[in-house]
């Protein structure tokens, strides 16, 4: 788990990813023991949330980035005590005193991708700051860009969520599709939205639009379940189609 980029500072002054790896793994194990139902993505999000931010050393100009995330310390310094004492379980919210579920709030972690390539499980090169490449975000500066290569390609983006029993759940996202395909009748490149093993929607190069379009889907039939929401972009061997997602939301009511 060293690639997560957490910095460990030991009493001897030894530091770096080689020293950070076993300590980070230990903290992750502590979290897993406290929250046995947490997924790897949940654990990663908890580690990111509790890390102490460290700014770039003023004496070393090689360090780039912000205090929140930079090339020396990445997410920051791991804190074992804070991780297990302040984190909250990721499964469904606790029942109210009357026994009714808490049917409110956002279920996705990092819904607008502004925390970078965290929480979501994504193909390489999907989550990023793509404004300078012609695919700006709907909000903020980060989005998820699937396909767009003009060659045979499959990109995926997914996250597991829990929908408490008795709640209505609505999935929304802003989607931009642009394509070099000229057909008005054939789906050469496709984006599918699946909940578990069920395909909920299929979009394609035929759904191209000049800007973002708000898409909405009712997931209330999955109440009481933990499911994986997955977007899959499949591109054929010629003429690019880009599927760009931003500002996702899975809200309860």
Q: Which regions of the chain carry the CATH code 2.60.120.260?
A: 105-252
The whole-number pLDDT of residue 90 equals 47
Going by C-alpha positions, the residue among 162, 127, 168 that lies closest to residue 39 is 162
CATH assignment of 105-252, among 2.60.40.650, 2.170.150.70, 3.30.70.340, 2.60.120.260: 2.60.120.260
- Close Cβ partners of 237 (under 8 Å, ≥ 6 residues apart): 151, 152
In this structure, what token pair is assigned to residue 147? 């396909």
Going by C-alpha positions, the residue among 74, 246, 244 that lies closest to residue 173 is 246
pLDDT in tens, 194-250: 999 999 999 999 999 999 999 999 999 999 999 999 999 999 999 999 999 999 999
Query: What pTM was computed for the model?
Result: 0.62
pLDDT in tens, 67-95: 777 776 777 777 777 767 755 554 444 54
């Amino acid at each position: 788990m060293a690639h997560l980029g957490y910095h460990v500072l030991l009493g001897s002054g030894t530091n770096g990813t080689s020293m950070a790896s076993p300590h980070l793994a230990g903290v992750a194990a502590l979290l897993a023991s406290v929250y046995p139902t947490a997924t790897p993505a949940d654990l990663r999000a908890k580690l990111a949330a509790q890390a102490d931010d460290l700014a770039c050393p003023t004496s070393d100009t090689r360090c780039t980035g912000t205090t929140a995330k930079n090339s020396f310390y990445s997410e920051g310094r791991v804190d074992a005590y804070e991780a297990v004492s302040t984190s909250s379980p990721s499964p469904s919210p606790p029942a109210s005193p009357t026994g009714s579920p808490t049917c409110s709030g956002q279920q996705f972690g990092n819904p607008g991708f502004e925390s970078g390539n965290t929480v979501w499980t994504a193909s390489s090169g999907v989550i990023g700051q793509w404004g300078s490449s012609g695919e700006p975000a709907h909000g903020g500066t980060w989005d998820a860009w699937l396909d767009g290569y003009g060659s045979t390609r499959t990109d995926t983006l997914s996250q597991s969520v829990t929908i408490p029993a008795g709640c209505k759940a609505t999935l929304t996202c802003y989607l931009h599709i642009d394509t070099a395909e000229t057909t008005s009748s054939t789906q050469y490149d496709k984006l599918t939205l699946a909940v578990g093993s069920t395909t909920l929607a299929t979009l394609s190069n035929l759904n191209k639009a000049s800007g973002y379009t708000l898409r909405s889907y009712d997931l209330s039939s999955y109440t009481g379940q933990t499911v994986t929401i997955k977007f899959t972009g499949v591109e054929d061997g010629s003429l690019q189609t880009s599927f760009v997602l931003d500002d996702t939301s899975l809200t309860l009511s």
